[in-house]
Amino acid sequence: MDIATLAGLSLPVIFLLFMGVEAFLPSGRAMPRVKHWRLIGGAALVVTLAVNALLPLLLIPLLPDMTLIDLSRWGSWAAVPVVVLTTFFTYWSHRTMHRFDLLWRAGHQLHHGVARVDIASAMIFHPVDVAVQVLMTLLAAGLLDASPEAGAAAGVMGFSIALYQHWDVRTPAWTGWFIQRPEQHVLHHERDVHARNFGDMPVWDRLFGTYAPPVEGAVALGFAPERARRWVAMIAFVDVNRTEGRIRL
């Protein structure tokens, strides 16, 4: 079995492990209960994994040689710089999605509509949003001329980071120097605030002035219930929360 296949098969296992720990060691943060929430998260995982699997097959043959730094000899170790560069790109793509209404309603609002930050919510993304994340990873891997094995490993690392920052457990403070903790990420999901903690790695928020320190208490998350239920409208690019006040950079 090649590394890319093994990496792909590992993702649902990692998802279930995170979810299992969360079930037994919840943070205690107050969040609204949603019927069949974990099943909804599992269904969203299937969609996310499908886009992640199929889109590279379509795009990689079309991409030109764009090597900036040749790390092909690093083997799987090149996954580390690929992830770091990807998080730089996704910081800016993420921040842009929050800044402009067209990009916001073209996908990212679906992720922010839910009033929870946990493992199930970590996979609730519009396919357009997932496609942007895939493109950022492919761009980083192409610029560094990373091997397919490194690209696969980077995908697993990026997936795990996304789960970690949505994990509804108490996390060690020291991890916040390297990746965004859920205690920080809840501030990013605060209702009607589009101004902080955009990066998967806090270094980018610190550098570009959008960092906010972690909090332990409850935060008002997502959209108001009557708006959060409009999933079909959000998938169809309708801005369901447009009339609410928004705090932006």
pLDDT, tens digit (0-9, with 9 covering 90-100), for 81-126: 999 999 999 999 999 999 988 899 888 999 999 999 999 999 999 9
pLDDT of 217 over the 80 cut: no
Q: Are 169 and 20 in contact (CB under 8 A)?
A: no
Residue 102's contacts (CB-CB under 8 Å, 6 or more residues apart) are none
Whole-model pTM?
Answer: 0.92
Measured on CA atoms in the order 191, 196, 198, 202, is the torsion positive or negative? negative
Reply yes or no on whether the pLDDT at 241 is more than 80: yes
Indicate the average pLDDT of the chain. 91
Buried b or exposed e, range 153-186, using 16+ CB within 10 angstroms: bbbbbbbbbbbbbbbbbebeeeebeebbbbbbbb
Cα–Cα distance, 123 to 119 (Å, whole number) = 7
> What is the model's pLDDT at position 170?
96
The pLDDT value recorded for residue 96 is 95
Instruction: List 193's β-bridge partners, or say none.
Output: 247
Distance of CA 79 to the CA centre of its chain: 17
C-alpha 167/C-alpha 44 separation (Å) is: 16
According to the model, what pLDDT value does residue 248 have?
Answer: 63
On the question of pLDDT at 164 being above 70, the answer is yes
Element (H, E) at 43: helix 37-59
Q: Looking at residues 180-194, what average pLDDT do you find? A: 93
pLDDT band at 246 (very low <50, low <70, confident <90, very high): low
Q: Which amino acid is at 22?
A: E
pLDDT at residue 231 is higher than 90: no
Residue 29: both structure tokens together: 């943060």
Which residue, among 231, 56, 240, has the nearest Cα to 130 in the 3D structure? 56
* Per-position DSSP letters for 100-154, written without gaps between them: -HHHIIIIIHHHHHSS--SHHHHT---HHHHHHHHHHHHHHHHHTT--HHHHHHH
Extended beta strands in 176-220, E state: 193-194
Supply the pLDDT for residue 136.
Answer: 94
Q: E strands of the chain, at which residues? A: 193-194, 247-248
Domain boundaries, the chain: 3-248
Share of the chain above pLDDT 90, in %: 66
Q: 4-57: per-residue pLDDT in tens? A: 778 888 999 999 999 999 999 999 888 988 889 999 999 999 999 999 989 988
The span from the CA of 136 to the CA of 245, in Å, is: 30
Please give the average per-residue pLDDT across 215-219, as a whole number: 80
Rounded to whole angstroms, how far apart are CA atoms 227 and 245?
Answer: 14
Please name the residue that has the structure tokens 């560094």. Answer: 144
Tell me the residue type at 56: P
Q: Could you tell me how far CA 160 lies from the centroid of its own chain?
A: 9
Give the lowest-confidence range in 49-53, 156-160, 200-204.
49-53
* pLDDT of amino acid 243: 54
